[in-house]
Amino acid sequence: MNDLLQVAVNAHGGLERWNHLKTVKASVSITCAIWQVKGKPDVLQDISIAAELHKERLTTHFNGQGKRTVFEQNRITVETESGRLVDSRDDPRSAFWEHSRETPWDDLHVAYFSGYALWNYLTVPFLYTCPRFVKEELAPWLENGEQWRPLKVICP
């Protein structure tokens, strides 16, 4: 493992501990301008998420609304909290082709974008320890008296 990646993994509890964990859960509200632009203001306010850490899967519960979305690598679903399928999309990434900044999103666009982003945010730096990721430490630089060590990662 790259030295800088090892430092980051150790700072997050170490690989041995990570390998014992299965899921992470959180209650969050995610707000930003993108939801306004995409026609979904406040879509991710008051949600609960559950991410599987060793499989690309994240469930978002929309608290008080009786629905959830399930993000997987090549599929998105909207379900009732009891598990009844409401809507789904296979190959959800392709649904973004030819979109502009102003293109409105449906619930499946939101589910894919947020699920993909959150799962990655919650699994880095451990995700980068997989051999399929190419890692290279770049030259350090000084900023405000601190030395910064950048890590370049090429995702498969």
CA distance 118 to 105: 18
Question: What would the mean pLDDT of 147-153 be, rounded to a whole number?
Answer: 96
The mean pLDDT of 62-91, rounded to a whole number, is 96
Amino acid symbol at 71:
F
Predicted pLDDT at 1 = 83
The DSSP letter of residue 69 is E
Q: Which amino acid is at 14?
A: G
pLDDT averaged over the chain?
A: 95
Would you tell me how many other CB atoms lie within 10 Å of the CB of residue 88?
15
Q: How confident is the model at residue 99 (pLDDT cuts 50, 70, 90)?
A: very high
Cα 142 to Cα 103: distance, rounded to the nearest angstrom:
40
Specify the pTM: 0.89
